[in-house]
Amino acid sequence: MNHIDHHIDDLFRDNLESHEEAPNPSTWRSIENYLNEKDARQYRRKYQILANSTRRALMVLALLLIVSITKWNWESHTISRNVPNANSNRLEPNNNSRGLFLGVGSSEKITSPDEEMARSGIDHSNSLSGMAIPEDQDAFRFSQQKIENLDEPGTHGTNFTDNSILVSGKPIQIESWRLAFLMERDQVPHPQGMTKVSSNGHRFTLIPYFTFDHNTGRFEEVYEFHDQNKNELLERENPDISTTVGLHAEFRLNRRISFESGFSISNSYTSIAPTVIKAYQDSYGTYKFKLATSYGVAELKKTGITNPQYGDSIILNDAEQHLQYFSIPALVKYHLIPGRFNLSLSAGVAFNKIVNDKMEVNYSAGGNKEKETIEKIEGLNESFLSVNSGAEFTYDIGKRISVGINPGLRISITPVNSGTPVRTYPVSWGLGTLVKIRL
């Protein structure tokens, strides 16, 4: 470099290096407008997710309510037709005494206690007459008084012979549905070879439910995605409200233990904070714009830059990652507090199949704003296994229907992705509502 070149360089450097110039006031207004629009867009999206989830939950609940009301009305109508001339000198079934009741080893429809007694033809002088089906509160209290006359189970040889029990040392026969009722409340011992049924006499229960989930995970760094390590990827991810809707079936083995399975669909959303996406060379030597997340890598193809080169970059304004997976759990449930208020704990494993994965990306490339939906996130596995656990607190609002809440936790035991910069084991906890319909 000669003296003249030096002089030219120095002349411009000295005069322009620290040159400052007042920007046009409209520039800040434009930037501010952009930032306001961006904030509004983010709020709108979060509100939209919440609104959609709530709408779906309300639809499910409304559907269940309609089904329940329809079923109750139908059963009520059936009973009132079956007992047109019920004797009223004792407790009679009324509209509150409705529904099917499973007796020990048999299933029979209760129409009236008096009809039942008349049919049985046994000596009722010392029997538990007057007991109505348990749902009738008056009848229940009445039966409780009578039950006090019973011998303590097992104290002096209380025994079953067909449908008879020992009262004050004397065997008496009672109706099967009453016997089942007493058995359910542990007022009498259970005969050998007979399996006790659930608190309401139903073995199978359908459980539709809906939960709002919060997703996080256990992350292991496999390799750095160019100059981005695990922490940098995770810092720009922000889990949004996610949802799960499902239908489980519960099979009650005994009063305390039941087995539960079914299916559910989970929708998991994650927001990606703004960042700069540089063009990186792949193994074929082609430069591509790729966004790495904790779930995988998404390639942006509609940048308008037909042949990206080293140093090219685009600005990611915002992005949202959506993962939808189908789960089949196998759970064992322990009923800690059985009864009208039921508290149960469950644990088990679930097979999760990813059915949909996509990413919606808004970015700026060369001054142009682009929106792209990437239908496939590279590196995601097709399925993963998780350990599920949860609690269930329900309240019986009828003989067949219970409602409640179900906090739950799902911890993946196999990664959701492979060959990605970060190996991710999703963890989600949720809280939602459920309805239990006993069959």
Partner 1 sequence: MPNRNVSNLNDSKALVRGCIKGDRLMQSLLYHRYAPQMKGVCMRYARNSFEAEEILQEGFIQVFECLSQYRFQSPLQYWIRKIMINCALQKLRLKTILYPVFDCEEWSTECIKADTVTSGLHTKELIAMVQSLPLMCRLVFNLYVFEGMKHREIGTLLDISEGTSKSHLFDARKMLQQQLKAADAMVRVNA
Binding site for partner 1 (CB under 8 A): 3-5, 7-9, 11-13, 15-24, 27-28, 30-32, 34-35, 39, 232, 235-236, 273-276, 305, 309-313, 315-317, 364, 366-367
In the complex with partner 1, which residue's Cβ is closer, 177 or 225?
Answer: 225
Between strands 237-239 and 257-272, the pairing is antiparallel
Report the C-alpha gap between 324 and 357 in whole angstroms: 6
In the complex with partner 1, which residue's Cβ is closer, 6 or 119?
Answer: 6
CB of 307 to partner 1, least distance (A): 10
CB of 282 to partner 1, least distance (A): 17
In the complex with partner 1, which residue's Cβ is closer, 59 or 273?
Answer: 273
Report the C-alpha gap between 140 and 113 in whole angstroms: 13
> Which uninterrupted H or E stretch holds 299?
strand 297-300
In the complex with partner 1, which residue's Cβ is closer, 193 or 367?
Answer: 367
Between strands 242-252 and 164-167, the pairing is unpaired
In the complex with partner 1, which residue's Cβ is closer, 274 or 407?
Answer: 274
CB of 320 to partner 1, least distance (A): 16
CB of 214 to partner 1, least distance (A): 22
In the complex with partner 1, which residue's Cβ is closer, 9 or 108?
Answer: 9
CB of 226 to partner 1, least distance (A): 14
Vertex 76: Cα angle to 108 and 337 (nearest 5):
70
In the complex with partner 1, which residue's Cβ is closer, 228 or 389?
Answer: 228
Q: Report in angstroms the alpha-carbon separations of 270 from 37, 84, 239, 264.
A: 20, 61, 4, 20
Cα end-to-end distance, the chain, whole Å: 93
In the complex with partner 1, which residue's Cβ is closer, 19 or 141?
Answer: 19
What's CA 193's distance to the chain center, in Å? Answer: 37
Report the C-alpha gap between 147 and 140 in whole angstroms: 10
Most distant CA atoms of the chain, gap in Å: 129
Please, are residues 210 and 244 in contact by the beta-carbon 8 Å criterion? yes
Joined tokens for residue 398: 């009828």
Report the C-alpha gap between 354 and 164 in whole angstroms: 56
Q: What is the CA radius of gyration of the chain?
A: 34
In the complex with partner 1, which residue's Cβ is closer, 162 or 227?
Answer: 227
CB of 289 to partner 1, least distance (A): 12
Q: Would you call 120 helix, strand, or coil by DSSP?
A: helix
CB of 233 to partner 1, least distance (A): 12
Please, are residues 178 and 399 in contact by the beta-carbon 8 Å criterion? no
Report the C-alpha gap between 224 and 14 in whole angstroms: 41
> Which residues, 6 or more positions from 279, have their beta carbon under 8 angstroms from its beta carbon?
287, 288, 289, 305, 308, 309, 310, 311, 312, 313
In the complex with partner 1, which residue's Cβ is closer, 73 or 281?
Answer: 281
CB of 314 to partner 1, least distance (A): 9
Neighbours of 311 (CB within 10 A): 8
